[in-house]
Structure 1
Amino acid sequence: MALKRTSLPRTAEAVALAELRDAIVRGDLAPGAPIRQSAAAEELGLSVIPVREALKTLAGEGIVTYVPQRGYTVTELSPQSVDGIFRIRGLLEAEAEGNAAARMRSEDIAAMRTALEAQRAAVARVDVQGVITHNRNFHFALLDRCDNEWMLRFVRQLWEALEPHRALSYRRGAASGDLARIEAILTEHDDIVTAFEDGDRALALRLLAEHRTQGRSDFHRLLSSPEGR
C-alpha cells in the first residue's frame, strides 16, 4: 500500500488517518481495493485500533466503504455518484472560486503558473503521481484564497472522493500511451491562468466552470469503459 510512518508528533489515529487518506488520494490504493486493518497497522507500526478508527472516519467521508463480513474497500464510484459529486462541486466550488478570485494576489497567480509548468513537466516524463499532485496544486493555488473554511472543507472532501479514480484514469492513459486528454487538460489550465494574468476574472471563472464540466465527462468515460466497470 506504500504507507509511510511520519515523524510528526500526532496521535496514532491522526497518523493512520493521514497516511491512509494519502495512499487513497495518490491512487496507491485503487477503487475497489480492500484495506486490511491488520496489514495497514503493521506497515504503520501501529495497533489495529487507531487504524480502525481512521477507517471509520474515511467511511463517514465516503472515501472508503464498509460492508459487514467483508470489511473496508476504497469506494468505487458509479455514474450516478459522479453526477452527484459534480453537481455539488458545481455549486460549492464555483462559489469558492468566485470568493477566491476576488482575493487573489499576484503570487497566487504565479503559483498557478508554477503548478501548471510542473504538471507539464510531469506529463513529459510520464510521472503520473506528479501529474495528479500538480493538478491539485494548480486548482488549490486559487481555492485556498477562499476565506470560507467550511466551504473549502467540503470542496476538499469532494476532490478526495474523486482522486483515486483520477489516478486510475491517468495511469491507464500513461500505460496505453494515450495522453491526449492529459495534454488537453494542460491547455485548459493554460487558458485559465492566462485569463487571470490578463486580469479577466470573469473569463477565468467561466473557463473553470467549463473545465469542471469536461472533468465530469472524463469520469463518465472512465466508468463506462470495460476496464472501468
Structure 2
Amino acid sequence: MVLKRTSLPRTAEAVALAELRDAIVRGDLPAGAPIRQSAAAEELGLSVIPVREALKTLAGEGIVTYIPQRGYTVTELSPRSVDDIFRIRELLEGEAERNASVQLRPEGIAVMRVALDDQRAAVASVDVPGVIAGNRRFHFALLDHCDNEWLLRFVRQLWEALEPHRALSYRRAAVAGDFARAEAILAEHDSIVTAFEGGETALALRLLADHRSGGLADFHRLLTSAGN
C-alpha cells in the first residue's frame, strides 16, 4: 500500500479520506485487499481515529466493506451489484442530467468540450489517472448544473463506488495495449457534447443513456475477465 501525505491544510480525517480513496482508485489497494487501520495511520503520520472515521465514510459510499471480526476490505463488485448500481444510475443520473440540461449554458458546454480534449490527450499519452479524471470532469461539467442537491449527492456516491473498478478497467486495457474502448468512449463523448452544442438536448440525453448502457457492459466484461 502506498499512501502519499499532502501538505494541504486539511483536517486529519480529510487527509485520511482523500489518501485512502486515491490509493484505492490508483490500484495500490485492489478489490478485496484488507485495510489495516494501524498501518494506514502510520504511513500517513496520523492517529488511528481519523483513519477509522475515514473508513466509515468510505464504507457508507460503498468503496470499502466492513466485516465484523475481520475489519475493512476494498469492496469487490459482483455482476448483481453492478446491475443494481447501474439501475439506480439509470433512474437518478438520468433525472439529474435532465435537470442539469435545463440549466446548461454555452459556457458550461464549453467546459465539457475542454474536459473531452483533456481526456483525449490523456488517452493519447496513456495517462490512466488523467483519463479517469477527464472522464469524470466531462460528466460532472453537466451534472454539476443539477440544482437538486440531494439528487446530485446520491449520483456522486454511485460514481465513487464505481471509480476504483473503472480505473482498473483502464489500467488493464493500457497494459494490454488495447485502446479501442477508450477511443469509442471519446467518440461517444464527442457526440454528446456536439448534440448540446447544436441545441439538440433530447438527442444528447438519449446519447448519455446509451453511453451509460455501454458502461454497464464494460463493467461486466471487467468482472468476467477478473474471474478468469
1:1-229 alignment to 2 at 5 Å? Answer: 1-225=1-225, 227-228=226-227
Deviation at 1:33, TM superposition (A): 2.0
Letter in 2 for 1:82: V
Deviation at 1:57, TM superposition (A): 1.9
The CA distance in 2 between the partners of 1:23 and 1:59, in whole Å, is 15
Deviation at 1:101, TM superposition (A): 0.6
Q: 1:130-163, CA deviations, whole angstroms, 9 ceiling, x for partnerless residues?
A: 1001000000000000011111111010001111
The CA distance in 1 between the partners of 2:179 and 2:47, in whole Å, is 42
The CA distance in 2 between the partners of 1:193 and 1:181, in whole Å, is 18
SS of alignment partner, residue 3 of structure 1: coil
Letter in 2 for 1:160: E
The CA distance in 2 between the partners of 1:228 and 1:146, in whole Å, is 37
Letter in 2 for 1:59: A
The answer for unaligned runs of 5 or more in structure 1 is: none
SS of alignment partner, residue 66 of structure 1: strand
Deviation at 1:196, TM superposition (A): 0.5
* Greater mean deviation of Cα atoms: 12-21 or 134-143: 12-21
SS of alignment partner, residue 65 of structure 2: strand
Letter in 1 for 2:57: T
Deviation at 1:13, TM superposition (A): 1.8
What's the TM-score once normalised by structure 1's chain length?
A: 0.95
SS of alignment partner, residue 221 of structure 2: helix
Letter in 1 for 2:192: I
Q: Does the 8 A contact of 1:29 with 1:164 survive in 2?
A: no
SS of alignment partner, residue 159 of structure 1: helix
The CA distance in 2 between the partners of 1:6 and 1:182, in whole Å, is 31
* Greater mean deviation of Cα atoms: 38-47 or 25-34: 25-34
The CA distance in 2 between the partners of 1:19 and 1:63, in whole Å, is 13
Q: Does the 8 A contact of 2:32 with 2:76 survive in 1?
A: yes
The CA distance in 1 between the partners of 2:28 and 2:202, in whole Å, is 37
Q: Does the 8 A contact of 1:24 with 1:30 survive in 2?
A: yes
| Percent identity for Structure 1 against Structure 2 | 81
User: Which runs of 4 or more aligned residues in structure 1 lie more than 3 Å from their structure 2 counterparts after TM superposition?
Assistant: 6-10, 25-28
Letter in 2 for 1:12: A
Aligned residues: CA RMSD:
1.4
Q: 1:77-127, CA deviations, whole angstroms, 9 ceiling, x for partnerless residues?
A: 000000000000000001100010110111111111111111111111111
The CA distance in 1 between the partners of 2:27 and 2:163, in whole Å, is 7
SS of alignment partner, residue 73 of structure 2: strand
SS of alignment partner, residue 147 of structure 1: coil
Letter in 2 for 1:118: D
CA shift in 2, pair 1:85/1:30, >3 Å: same
What's the TM-score once normalised by structure 2's chain length?
A: 0.95
Deviation at 1:228, TM superposition (A): 4.5
The answer for unaligned runs of 5 or more in structure 2 is: none
* Greater mean deviation of Cα atoms: 64-73 or 139-148: 64-73
